[in-house]
Structures are given as structure tokens and as C-alpha cells.
Structure 1
Amino acid sequence: MSTVIFSKATTDEHIDGIVALQQRNLPRNLTADERNVNGFLTVEHSSALLWEMNRPYRHIIALDADEVVGYALVMEKVWKDKIHVLLSMFSEIEKKLRSLKKTDLKYYVMGQICVDNEQRGKGVFRQLYKKLHDQMRAHFDLCITEIDERNQRSVQAHLAVGFKEFHRYTDEQGVNWVIVCFNYT
């Protein structure tokens, strides 16, 4: 029986493993039943963009015998213009922070989290977030991410590890989003 090890993404093999796992979990590669039961990813990242996003804070990965079986991506605000589908999320976050008079809070976006089907239900999701929070809490006040409302597996998993609902909105394509937040303060 193998052991899952948690680490930071530092090699081409790590980034390639993230891309491979991501590809397997994009909606176009899943049946409707798989999307409903296991969830799905929304954004597709290139290897080049993942490398750029991997500085100065590293993505967190879960490895089983050198295979990437889970990951949590770090995305600072500077990347908002690189991924068009996320522009509305950043806009909604900023509006919500202004309405709460909390614009002084430093936040980053957890750009995506994914766990291989064979590793689900084994605590990998929770450990990825623990390692991510350990790395980021000294630098930021909040960890924020958004989840397609149809992806209830992900919504529930985030709430179970301590995220709180922060905001909901509907984008210009009619997709309903749940923005969740983990407060480090």
C-alpha cells in the first residue's frame, strides 16, 4: 500500500502531473453522472501559466509513488487578467470587500483544487488545504475561491474544511457561482 506525500510543485513532472489530472476532470472529459457525483473543474491551465503562477508561492501537490494525485493552485490577484473566465469573480470579490468596508484585507485566490478519484474520501482534500494554509497564512488575511453552484460535491467539501460562504452571483453566461472564504485573521 502506498503513502500519499504532500509537497510543493517544483519540477516539470509536478506541473505535467497537475495538467494531466486537470484534463481528466474537465467537464468535456466526464459524463454527466460523473460530473454530478464527483464534481468537475471549470478552468483549464497551460503548463506555462501554471509555472508563472507557481511564484513566489508554490502550488501544493499530493504525490502517490511520484504521481500527482491531488493539487491546490495558488493564484494571486496579479493573475486575474490572464484567465478571462475569472474576471467576474475578481470583480465580485472586490465589490463585496468594498461593501463590507474591508478593502484593506490581503487575499489570494485558491486557483483550483483537485483530487484523483482513487484518493477521494481519504483526507487528501483536507491535507492539501492544510499545507496551503500553512504556506499562505503569514502573508494573507483570506483565502478565497469560487465554485460552480452545480458542483455540490466541491461546495460541501469546502464548507467541511472551514470555508464560509462569502458571496453568490450569476455571471454573464448565466452560471451561478458560490464564492467561499477561509479567514486567517
Structure 2
Amino acid sequence: MKSPAYVFVALVLAILFSLVAYRVSVHYARFDAPVAAPAAPPPAQAESGAIPAAPQAPVLPPGQQQAADAIARARDIQAAVQAYFESHEGWPRNLAELSLGYPDRYADHAVASISVQPNGVVAIAMKPHVARGGVIRLTPSVRPDGRVDWECRATNYPDATRLPTCR
């Protein structure tokens, strides 16, 4: 009968060789890129008055894109705050009054949480690796005609202040 030490050493060596073989296979694996279809030539506008294509939105730098995505992530909460104001004639104090769950429910790779603060302010807290202490605040204000306007302000988040819609 073999000693348990020999069995243990054989098992450890088998595991090590398996890990090395896996690492080598991953290192040398080739993933061919999918072949893209050739780009279609731009359609010629007919003289019959074809509608021109809408201009493409400018591509934002990654930091500004994260800020724009964070603001877009808060759109549903903004709409809920506005609907609450229109039905209750007052601002909600938090997400619980809107029945929208917890602030961290809206987190993603860049957003730590989205919450509602007093006076209907929607606060988007960014994660530290994006902007330490960075917060985007969407503040509602009511016009004399009853419409709600939203003002975007960012603190400790320079990329958000570079967006044309947020200063």
C-alpha cells in the first residue's frame, strides 16, 4: 500500500500541471475577429426631396461619457420626482416616498448610488475610482406656468462639469 504522502504529492503535481497547461492554452489561444461586412456607400439623395440623415452626436471622452451615462441612469427617477410633484404639489424627501427602492439599487460600474434629497433634488454619487467625492445633483425648479425645469450641477467631478448640460 502506498503512503498517503505519495498520493498527496502526486495530486498536488497533477493540479499544478493542469493549471500550467490551462495558462499556456489561454495565452496562445487565438480569437479571430468577426469579419465585418463592407461598409455600404452613403445613399445618394434623390432629387425628389429625400430627408437627410440626422447628424451623429459627437463622441465624448470616456470620463464625460460616464457622467452622461450617470445622468441618463437618473432619468426615471427624475420623471418619478416630477410626477410626484404634479400629483402631491410638493417634493418627495427620499426614494421611499416614490417606492423606488434603495439608492444603491441604481449602481453600476461608475455610479455608487442615486438618491432623492429634500426639495426633490436627485443626487448621483459616483464611485471613488471615477471621482472621489463626485456628486451630480439634478435640482428641480418650478416655472410660473407650472412646468418643472432641471438644473445639473456637479461637485468634485470635473468631467461632468465639461458636459454642456451640466455645470
Superposition TM-score tier, normalisation by shorter sequence: under 0.3
Give the number of the structure whose alpha-carbon radius of gyration is greater.
Answer: 2
Relative contact order (alpha carbons < 8 A, sep ≥ 6): 1 or 2 greater? 1
Q: Give TM-score scaled by structure 1 length.
A: 0.23
Q: TM-score, normalized by length of structure 2? A: 0.25
